[in-house]
Structure 1
């Protein structure tokens, strides 16, 4: 197995994770009979974003890299920040 094959696998995994977040959100919304964004949506988004960011970095893609994380897209920051806010809220409720 070549390095390129491994990275194609990583990129494919990232895309699958990123796509799975929509299925996660859809199923949760159907269950609740209203539009909701469940916590797993954020975790799957973060995992998919990190994986796609790694793949885009390996490719050296100047469009894809910012969109997945650190540049103008801010995707990874937003997912992480939402998870931090959820944790803080849970700690306040528990106290």
Structure 2
């Protein structure tokens, strides 16, 4: 039973992680230009977090390193977005 739960965590994480590209594509098509919406970064964090949890469960060091490094980048991008909004007076991007 435990292995099935962890498999579900991994599959949900992969779905969230893949969903970020669908969101980016859909938003770009809707706006008629290439954009990276903030939701992309939130889906990246949720998906990467779930995949990292799964990687820790299966004890895969390659997978753990990859997801950990990505998580730092996604969090940093959200911090940069927040800093930019503060500097511009809180206007939405």
Same fold (TM over 0.5): yes
Q: Distance in 1 between matches of 2:82 and 2:34?
A: 22
Unmatched 5+ stretches in structure 1: none
Aligned positions of 1:49-68 closer than 5 A: 49-68=48-67
Q: Distance in 1 between matches of 2:75 and 2:87?
A: 19
1:83: which partner in 2? 78
Q: Distance in 1 between matches of 2:28 and 2:84?
A: 22
Greater length-normalized contact order (CA 8 Å, ≥ 6 residues apart): 2
Give TM-score scaled by structure 2 length: 0.91
Shift of 1:34: 1.4
Q: Which contiguous aligned blocks of 4+ residues in structure 1 show a shift greater than 6 angstroms? A: none
Q: Distance in 2 between matches of 1:86 and 1:62?
A: 31
Q: Distance in 2 between matches of 1:64 and 1:82?
A: 21
1:6: which partner in 2? 5
Give TM-score scaled by structure 1 length: 0.89
Shift of 1:64: 1.0
Q: CA RMSD in A?
A: 1.1
The total of aligned residue pairs comes to 90
